[in-house]
Amino acid sequence: MLERDELFMKEALKEAKRAFDAGEVPVGAVLVHQNRVIARGHNQVELLQDATAHAEVLCLSAGSQALSNWRLVETTLYCTLEPCPMCAGALLSARVTRLVWGAPDLRLGANGSWVDLLTMRHPMHAVSVTSRVLEAEAADLMRTFFQKQRHKSRPFA
């Protein structure tokens, strides 16, 4: 399972790189059903001027389109960053079976870094979680992005 998780996380990292290249916080996601990627997403908050345009939300929406069903049962979402509370709620609402994430989000992580919504007993659905897959790669992309952002704000320092 770890080899397969790394393979799909590399696909999510490609999406995160697309966000990075577009000047967005570099978070990427892919949704997998029956061992194939059916949807992709990366942060587009700045492009769309929409605080809800997170990689996970966009990916889940595309996945619903691909399956013609809002219930994403028997799917796995791979995301380069620990989901925030909004995205964790979307995962639960969409009935995603499994989540695999890369780097922790100490600021807004909803799987234990800040709060833990995904291990709480839910009345209708539970998500199986695997964390810290290719963590170093995901964290390095975030670190590089924010270093670049800080440098832009102080160009002559």
- The angle formed by the CA atoms of residues 35, 36 and 42, to the nearest 5 degrees, is 125
Annotated active-site residue in 56, 74, 135, 137: 56
- Residues for the chain: how many in total? 157
The reply to whether 135 belongs to the active site is no
Tell the residue number behind the tokens 């967005």, with chain if given. Answer: 24
Residues 86/57, Cβ–Cβ less than 8 Å = yes
Q: Which residues are catalytic?
A: 56
